[in-house]
Chains A and B, each alone.
Chain A
């Protein structure tokens, strides 16, 4: 394994590419459950924030932040055309019949903030505490499992022989509108 700090900086782009790919999957209404081979329905929606960054070459960066419920994403697509990548994304993930998770994920670190899981019991009596903890742990492992599996699917596509002719081509067509 590479030195952790070196690897972190060297492969930041993979996380940002992944978030950009998620946006593409959502826009093109791809079947997330089938991509990650999930037995239960899984869907993703863009939540209330999206951040893009564009390296301008001289160590400076252009940052575009779109915030707000039902905010228009036109500025984001314009930024993509200019070479930007998504660096932070607020997502709504629905699983099964009624499970909803909302969270923000950063491309470079995969840090998760503002995560709301489906509601669990709220009583904190000693007898019930263990049940609440086990339920929370299950939900957290489940949603992070979806993120990891989807990310590894992206990497699998990215290193496949037909990436340039298929995967990349589809994203290019989406971004540039052909």
Chain B
């Protein structure tokens, strides 16, 4: 569920650090250099990169804007190939049968089976197209807030790596501890008190 939908699921980040050069140029550079390739690489099982919000399948940041008012809005696209287990099972059964016939033997060794499986996976990965998934990102640079419109762990991890590589700014996931660290105005001694807290027990008093 993206930014313009009736319901949203999202994880939130605090973006640590500031650009030294012009902000828009740095963001444009990071997005362009790390945009998802226009042409799918048939050998890659997984690829991830940025795309414009308005054009998820044509990653052209010259043509489509990522600046909306004071916000940056773009998308993370993750293209993934997944080979159905039942297809591998079928191809394996056929390949084993063929190999037995060719060799005149009744059985194949464990090594031979693993080699066959490797070959089958190689062939299938070329044949199967990637399935794209799009996750919108809304970044308010000035107040260091960023929304990633998903709560899926794998997407969060890919986002964090790609964002750091693209902009050299660290995205810090917001959860109870990091909210205290990044958004509170607590003094050093108050922070120490937070760190020393331990779980409560509600007892009849």
- Residues of A whose CB lies within 8 Å of any CB of B are 1-2, 4, 7-8, 10-15, 17-18, 80-81, 83, 107-117, 120, 124, 129-130, 132-134, 136-137, 140-141, 144, 148, 151-152, 155-156, 158-159, 168-169, 171-173, 175-176, 178
Contacts and interface: CB of A to CB of B under 8 A. Distances in A.
B10 A80 contact: no
B176 A11 contact: yes
B176 A134 contact: no
Top 9 closest pairs, chain A to chain B, by CB: A13-B199, A7-B177, A159-B193, A14-B176, A11-B177, A176-B204, A15-B176, A113-B9, A115-B8
Interface stretch (B25-33, B78-86, B107-115, B167-175): B167-175
A136 B204 contact: no
A171 B201 CA distance: 11
A114 B7 contact: yes
A108 B93 CA distance: 46
A30 to B, nearest CB: 17
13 contacts: A1-B178, A2-B177, A4-B172, A11-B176, A11-B177, A14-B197, A17-B199, A81-B202, A112-B11, A113-B9, A158-B194, A172-B202, A172-B205
B174 A133 contact: no
Interface residues of B, number: 46
B40 to A, nearest CB: 28
A93 B140 CA distance: 23
Interface stretch (B55-63, B94-102, B180-188): B180-188
Given A136-B4, A152-B179, A155-B186, 13 more contacts: A7-B177, A80-B202, A109-B11, A110-B179, A116-B6, A116-B7, A129-B54, A130-B69, A133-B3, A137-B71, A137-B140, A148-B179, A176-B202
B12 A8 contact: no
A108 B175 contact: yes
A130 B10 contact: no
A8 B205 contact: no
B4 A124 contact: yes
B48 interface: no
B200 A168 contact: yes
A110 B12 contact: yes
A62 to B, nearest CB: 15
A3 B39 CA distance: 38
B145 interface: yes
B68 A134 contact: yes
Contact of A110 (B145, B175, B199): B175
Given A134-B69, A155-B180, A112 B9 contact: yes
Contacts of A15: 175-176
A7 B173 CA distance: 11
A67 B146 CA distance: 31
Contacts of B68: 129-130, 133-134, 137
B194 A169 contact: no
B10 A112 contact: yes
